Every structure is written in structure tokens, then in C-alpha cells.
Chains A and B, each alone.
Chain A
Amino acid sequence: MTEVRVPTATGRPEDAADGQPRPPGFPAAEPRRGGPGRQALYWARWAWRQLTSMRTALILLFLLALGSVPGSVLPQQGINPQAVQQYYAAHPALAPWLARFSLFNVFAAPWFAAIYLLLFLSLAGCVIPRTFRQFGAARQQPPRAPRNLSRLPLSVTMASPLAADAALAKASALLAGKRFRVRTGDGWISAEKGYLREAGNLLFHLALLALLAAVGLGGLFGYKADRLLVAGQSFGNTVTALDQFRPGRLVSASDLQPFSIALEKFSARYVATGPDTGEPAAFNAYLSYQAQPGAATQHYDLQVNHPLNVDNVKVYLIGHGYAPVFRVTDGTGHLVFNGPVPFIPVSLNGLTSEGVVKVPDARPRQLGFAGVFLPTTVDVGGKLQSAFPAPYRPAVSLVSYAGDLRMNSGPSQSVYQLDTGGMHKLAIAPRPLAPGQSMKLPNGMGTLTFAGYRQWISLAITYDPGQLPALFAAIAALAGLLVSFLVRRRRVFVRAAAGADGGSSVEFGGLARTESSETFGAEFEGLSKDLSAALASTGAAAPSADIPASSDLPSSPDERE
């Protein structure tokens, strides 16, 4: 007779005849001789075990940190392409070799991706099998009761008027009522509680996997961008309007959320007295924005660390400064420049700002200006300084150049830098201009007017679709870890043997699976009290699952009489 054992849907391992289920696919005895296929399998398994070991993960993490070092030491193509060009000019022999190893684009380098992917694989390969193991542990049935319960750390023997079978049935109902997982056998009961610990462990591992996936999600579909915005101006969230754009690997120009933002007014307040004079007190950027073209205009008071959330994109206020407004008329009498030019703060307490003005369409020569904007101008021993960041006595002072700005061909230039290599300085001494004042350039080159000033803010735009999942995953991981630390697994066993005059002798033993503590001792004592009370009564009413066994106590003495 051939019996085919088919795994049941419930897959209860205790159904197996020997109680020691063999994992499917594993032969009882492994043949010693193997072909090249088996050899390859052996090495593949060896490599996998090495990759997923904790040591490899740590080495990869270290390599990842080491690999990002050139990214901060060498100029990077994605962040500062001009600095890369300058590096090429300064080190013509070395630069091509560095480029060959992607050292100017470290974070997009194949070797960097290899480290990242291996680390991801190593972590996933470590966590996934553990997850399955935890899943198994959470579903596990209690083991068989040991033969001799008196050898357990906690044990008690009691006599019962009930027959052995009835006593076991009562004990089983009592333990099940106290939410023990109960397994019964011939003359014994084994019960275990605290599986929540395993569930917590499982949650922790699953959350860890989710965290890894969320971080990957952000890296693929997220993006970061910067934009400087002058008061009174607006921009749309599209690549051409951004100062800097760092897309995730799967982000294209059409994936950007099409909101637009206008800066209506920017107000900065500074501490006016005391030792902190000039320190910022409050920044408010009053924005109006549309979530998409044609949508209703909404308003937001943007502050530091209070980002605007539009279409799941976060917009942070990260900087501010002044943009003096210039009007330039060239030598032919045409208005060739009219608008604000953002100047960049170089000293924070006085907000002294530097900037350049390029007028590439001036005739007969292109014009360039470089200088400073001072919000509150004071004369300190013949040198001008800014005494306070608020614009109480604003002034600009500029050095003037004429010639070739080198903007009509060649590499892209920064709008904040002036290439004076093709220009000559005009013979006009820099003197501070107050708003409304002009300076006439020599040799019929034209006139520059400092028309006034506006303020600007710089915005950091970040979209990270993995952020929220990562947060939830981290919270779940923490919760799982807490549960697995706080919940203890503990087992109790009952053995009943036929005793004198139809009664039985009942042994009750307990074992805390993790470090035994006083709390389990107290719990065991309570349990044995409840058990002895339940076993003392011959009444047919078994303790109900809902009613604590101790509530039977008052009625018991009457029945015993």
C-alpha cells in the first residue's frame, strides 16, 4: 500500500507522523558525488551566503562612504559643471583619467551603482530569509510536554477528584481561555503564550524591507531643484525655470508637478538692539501659487522650516538677499538693460552682497559691472561697510568694464560671475550710488542707473515619493522592535495520570523561554491557583473562556461541603 502524503492547506507540521517535518526538496541523504552543475550550485550558494553576511554588508557600507569621498573632493558634473571645466584646464593630463573612472560624476558612476546595488542585495538577502523564519516562528505550535515536569524551573503537583481525561480537558479550556496556544497529546497538554514577540519580530523585518524599498523609490522617482525668486516675479516648476535640477533616475522633464509660484512680498525682521543686533528674527515670504495651470490661486506664508506642500512637493525657504535694480543705456542711446540682479550675501551680519551685471547687448562695447550692495551703508575710516541687514541706507558700488564678455560663444557662464579676460576696466572710480542715482560711463559707453532694489528668496524644491512610506516603515520597525523586546514567550505544561479512587494526579510546570523573571513566577503562581480551583470542582461547567477562573472561587467552597 502506498500512501501519498499531500501537504494540507493548513500545513500544520504536527500532523507529520514523526513530528519532525522535512522541508520539501531536500533528500534524506545527500549524494556525495555531484556533476559540474552541483558544483556551480555549491559555489553560488557559498557566494550568496558571503554576500548576505553581516560582515559583507558592513564592508559595503564602508565602501559606499569611501566612494562618496571623491564626490566631495573633486568638482562634480551634476553640481558644478564649470568647476569641472576649470579642473580640466588646470590638470589637462590628470583630468581625462579621472573622467575615465567617472570621478567627476561619482553618484552616477557604474562602480558606485554596483556598491549601492550590492549593499541593497546584501541587506535584502539577509532580511528576507529571516522574515520567513520569523513567519514560521510566529505560527509554530508549542512543543511536546517534557516527560518529567518536576525538572522545570517552576512546577507544582496537585490531586484532583476528576478523572485524568476530564482534568486535562478542564486545564486545556482554562489555558485556552487565558489565550494560550494549546497543544494536546496523550496524557499531556503543552501551552505557550507570547507569540506577539514573534509577530513583533516579523513586523520589524518586514518594515525594514519596506524601508529599503521606500529609499529606493525616492531615489528613482524623486527630484531636487533650486530656484532663486525675486519679489514680484513668478516661476513655473519646469526645467527651464530652475537654477539647478537633480532628477532621480526615472524622472524626466515631463514628470515635474506643474505648479507655479509667485513671490508677492518678502519681509525680514532683524534684532535691532542688544548683543544679537543684526541677527534674523523672522522671515516671511508671502507666496501665491497655483497647483497647476488654470487652478485657483492660493496663498501661503512661507517661513524657514515651514515648507509649502503643493502636489506632494515640498518647497523650502533656504535663503534670501537683495537684488538691486539697474537700468543701463548704451553709447547709442538704447535702453539695453532693465531689471533686478540678485546679489549674493558675503557677510551675514550686515548682509553685504556681491554681484555682477552683464550687459551683452550694449554698443559699441559690451558692458560688465562687478560690485557690492550695502543695505545700511556706514563709513568706517574711509571704507564703506554695511552695519545692519535691513535696508536703512542702501547703496551700490560698482567697478565698470567694457569689452568682450565672452558670452557670444564658448562654454556656459555663471550668471554670478564676470569673465573679465576680454574686458578692460573703465576709468571711473567706484563711488557709492544711492537709489535713483546714475553714473555716466567714460568714452561715450553709456549710463548706468541704480533704480532701486528688491529682495529675493531662494527655494529648495524636493519631491521624494519614498519619504512618507519610509516614515511609516521606520515607525512600524520601531513598534515591532519594542513589542519583541517587551513581550516574553512562556510555556506551561500539564500532565495528568490516573490516581486513587477515580481521581487523578496532575503535574503543572512552567518555563519562560527568554530570561526568566519574577513576573513569570507570579503569573505561574496565579495560573496554578486557578488550575487547582478548576480541577477541584467536579461540576460539569467548565470555566468559560470569558470569565476568569478566579471568579469561580466563591462558589467552589459550597460545592466542596
Chain B
Amino acid sequence: MAALGLAGVLALGACDSGAIGNSGPGSNGQSFVSGSPGTTVYGGNSGPVAPRVTGTLLSGSKFTLAQEHGHVVVLNFWGSWCTPCRAEAPFLSQLAQHFTPTGVRFLGVDIRDSPATAEAFQRDFHIGYPSLNDPGDEIALAFRDTVPPAGIPTTLVIGRDGRIAARVIGEVSYPGLRGLISRALAQPA
């Protein structure tokens, strides 16, 4: 039945290493915006107030960010298909385990994924915190007047006062994000 195989597919099969596939529409090499990496820290209470976000978790239950007022919140925009998101996932998982007992809340916002695929990611990386499902980008749009996520991944640290304390565009490092969380915890509510 090998004769039934497509010429194109056989040609692909002959390719043992290197990238296969084509560059996608609009000759875009990557097909998502990774943003220019960098960290923005807002001193004191100069950060903008985080919007009142509500949404549906991957598990299907409702979630309101305002419920977390008084807690430091780490908000991570991610996708299971995004390499830097996968690279930082172990750090986020460990930091969540470390900081959750101290009252820090972790929340993911899943972008351009199907719920089943996203749940496989959470299982794979032992992510213990919930993620909002954002198929229409409503959560990302809600942040546009404050500190919009300018690429995937983007991580926001929100202080106890509900103000955004820091934004990291691109992959977070374990010590980097730990420092930002500790700093937010040290701020009075």
C-alpha cells in the first residue's frame, strides 16, 4: 500500500532532520507575536489598577479577579503551543508551590488553545493553579488601558492594592519572578 502514499508526504518522510512544513500564510515565520522581552517594574503605588476581569476557567467554572483583592496575584498569559511558555512553565509551577501558602494567587490566561490541549499542558507540567480560557481575547483586551500583554508569554504581578506591580514580556526566570513577587509582598496593602 506504500504506492498509495503521496509524493509530497514521501518527500517529507525522507527528511530526517531540520524543519519541515512551510512558512505559513503571509510568509510569517512564526505566526505569533513574541514581543520584545523585558521587565517593567512600577514603584510604590504608581502602577495602573488592574481591570475587573471575569471569565470562565478551563474547568468550566466562573472566575472574578476582584475576588482576589488583598492578595498578590501572578497573572500569566500562555499557550501550550508556545516554546517560551513551555520553557517557563516549570518555574511558574515551582513558584506557585512555594508562594501559594503565603497567600499569593497564581492564575493563567490560556491563549489560542483548545481546552483539552491546555489541560494536557497543565497535567504535563503539574500546574496546580487554574487558568482562564480566553478564546475571544476578552481578558487580554480588558488590560488594554493598563498594561496590555505585548506578546506571548506575558506575566503580570498585581499587588495587594489591586495595582499592577510588574510586567514581564517573554520567558520569566525563576529568580527574576521570585524577586518581583517578594517585592510585591513587601508592599503594604
For window 44-91 of B, CB contacts with A under 8 Å fall at: 77, 80-84, 86-87
B24 pairs with A344, CB closer than 8 A: yes
Indicate which residue in B21, B33, B111 contacts A414 across the interface (CB closer than 8 Å). B21
Q: What does the 1/0 interface line of A376-419 toward B look like (CB < 8 Å)?
A: 00010011100000000000011100000001111111111111
Q: Which of A79, A243, A344 has the most CB of B within 10 A?
A: A243
B residues in contact with A412, CB < 8 Å? 30, 32, 34, 82-84
B residues in contact with A79, CB < 8 Å? 27-29
B22 pairs with A80, CB closer than 8 A: no
Given contacts A238-B141, A425-B13, contact A414 B24 (CB under 8 A): yes
Is B186 interfacial (CB-CB < 8 Å)? no
A238 pairs with B18, CB closer than 8 A: no
A residues in contact with B2, CB < 8 Å? 429
Is A338 interfacial (CB-CB < 8 Å)? yes
Count contacts on B: residues with CB < 8 A to the other chain: 68
Indicate which residue in B15, B114, B140 contacts A241 across the interface (CB closer than 8 Å). B140
Is A236 interfacial (CB-CB < 8 Å)? yes
Considering the chains assembled together, what is the distance between the CA atoms of A362 and B116 in angstroms? 12
Q: What does the 1/0 interface line of A234-248 toward B look like (CB < 8 Å)?
A: 111111111111000
Considering the chains assembled together, what is the distance between the CA atoms of A356 and B152 in angstroms? 21
Count contacts on A: residues with CB < 8 A to the other chain: 82
Is A334 interfacial (CB-CB < 8 Å)? yes
Of A121-129, A168-176, A254-262, the one touching chain B: A254-262
Is B173 interfacial (CB-CB < 8 Å)? no
Q: Which residue on B lies nearest to A83, using beta carbons? A: B29
Give B35 Cβ to nearest chain A Cβ, in Å.
7
Q: Which residue on A lies nearest to B17, using beta carbons? A: A421
Is A358 interfacial (CB-CB < 8 Å)? yes
Q: Which of A82, A334, A336, A379 has the most CB of B within 10 A?
A: A336
B117 pairs with A361, CB closer than 8 A: yes
Give B168 Cβ to nearest chain A Cβ, in Å.
14
A419 pairs with B19, CB closer than 8 A: yes
Q: Which residue on B lies nearest to A379, using beta carbons? A: B4
Q: What does the 1/0 interface line of A338-362 toward B look like (CB < 8 Å)?
A: 1100101010000010111010111
Is A505 interfacial (CB-CB < 8 Å)? no
A239 pairs with B121, CB closer than 8 A: no
B35 pairs with A336, CB closer than 8 A: no
Considering the chains assembled together, what is the distance between the CA atoms of A384 and B4 in angstroms? 7
A residues in contact with B19, CB < 8 Å? 414, 417-420
Of B93-101, B143-151, B175-183, the one touching chain A: B143-151
Q: Which residue on B lies nearest to A85, using beta carbons? A: B29
Considering the chains assembled together, what is the distance between the CA atoms of A242 and B28 in angstroms? 11
Is A471 interfacial (CB-CB < 8 Å)? no
A238 pairs with B120, CB closer than 8 A: no
B148 pairs with A234, CB closer than 8 A: no
Given contacts A337-B116, A458-B26, contact A358 B81 (CB under 8 A): yes
B9 pairs with A372, CB closer than 8 A: yes
B135 pairs with A234, CB closer than 8 A: yes
Q: Which of A235, A244, A344, A370 has the most CB of B within 10 A?
A: A244
A260 pairs with B6, CB closer than 8 A: no
Indicate which residue in B3, B9, B22, B31 contacts A244 across the interface (CB closer than 8 Å). B31
A residues in contact with B82, CB < 8 Å? 412
Considering the chains assembled together, what is the distance between the CA atoms of A460 and B17 in angstroms? 33
Q: Which residue on B lies nearest to A244, using beta carbons? A: B28
Is B189 interfacial (CB-CB < 8 Å)? no
A414 pairs with B30, CB closer than 8 A: yes
Given contacts A82-B30, A372-B6, contact A240 B21 (CB under 8 A): no
Q: What does the 1/0 interface line of B113-156 toward A look like (CB < 8 Å)?
A: 11111001101100000000001111011101110111110100
Give A81 Cβ to nearest chain B Cβ, in Å.
6
B residues in contact with A239, CB < 8 Å? 33, 35, 148-151
Given contacts A240-B149, A244-B33, contact A344 B26 (CB under 8 A): no
Indicate which residue in A337, A352, A372, A384 contacts B117 across the interface (CB closer than 8 Å). A337
A242 pairs with B1, CB closer than 8 A: no
Q: Which residue on A lies nearest to B28, using beta carbons? A: A244
B31 pairs with A414, CB closer than 8 A: yes
A397 pairs with B5, CB closer than 8 A: yes
Given contacts A234-B136, A412-B84, A430-B9, contact A243 B151 (CB under 8 A): no
B residues in contact with A271, CB < 8 Å? none
Give A325 Cβ to nearest chain B Cβ, in Å.
9
A residues in contact with B112, CB < 8 Å? 241
Indicate which residue in B4, B9, B80, B137 contacts A361 across the interface (CB closer than 8 Å). B80
Is B8 interfacial (CB-CB < 8 Å)? yes
B residues in contact with A361, CB < 8 Å? 80, 117, 120-121, 123-124
Give B11 Cβ to nearest chain A Cβ, in Å.
10
Given contacts A244-B33, A371-B9, contact A254 B145 (CB under 8 A): yes
Considering the chains assembled together, what is the distance between the CA atoms of A480 and B81 in angstroms? 56
Is A191 interfacial (CB-CB < 8 Å)? no
Given contacts A397-B6, A418-B21, A421-B18, contact A228 B140 (CB under 8 A): no
A360 pairs with B86, CB closer than 8 A: yes
A235 pairs with B22, CB closer than 8 A: no
A243 pairs with B35, CB closer than 8 A: no
Q: Which residue on A lies nearest to B84, using beta carbons? A: A412
A382 pairs with B3, CB closer than 8 A: yes
Given contacts A226-B26, A239-B33, A372-B6, contact A418 B20 (CB under 8 A): yes
Is A153 interfacial (CB-CB < 8 Å)? no
Is A96 interfacial (CB-CB < 8 Å)? no
Q: What does the 1/0 interface line of A280-303 toward B look like (CB < 8 Å)?
A: 000000000000010000000000
Give A284 Cβ to nearest chain B Cβ, in Å.
19
B9 pairs with A356, CB closer than 8 A: no
Residues of B within 8 A of A (CB): 1-10, 12-13, 15-35, 77, 80-84, 86-87, 111-117, 120-121, 123-124, 135-138, 140-142, 144-146, 148-152, 154
List the 10 closest A-B pairs by CB distance, nearest first: A236-B137, A339-B114, A80-B29, A338-B116, A361-B120, A416-B24, A336-B120, A417-B21, A253-B150, A82-B29
- Residue pairs across A and B with Cβ atoms less than 8 A apart, 8 shown, are A238-B148, A253-B144, A410-B83, A415-B24, A416-B21, A416-B22, A420-B18, A460-B26
Residues of A within 8 A of B (CB): 79-83, 226, 228, 233-245, 252-254, 256, 258, 260, 262, 293, 318-319, 321, 330, 334-339, 342, 344, 346, 352, 354-356, 358, 360-363, 370-372, 379, 382-384, 397-399, 407-421, 425, 429-432, 458, 460
12 extra interface residue pairs, beta carbon distance < 8 Å, beyond A243-B31, A330-B120, A420-B20: A80-B23, A228-B31, A234-B136, A236-B138, A240-B32, A244-B26, A335-B120, A336-B120, A356-B20, A417-B19, A430-B13, A458-B25
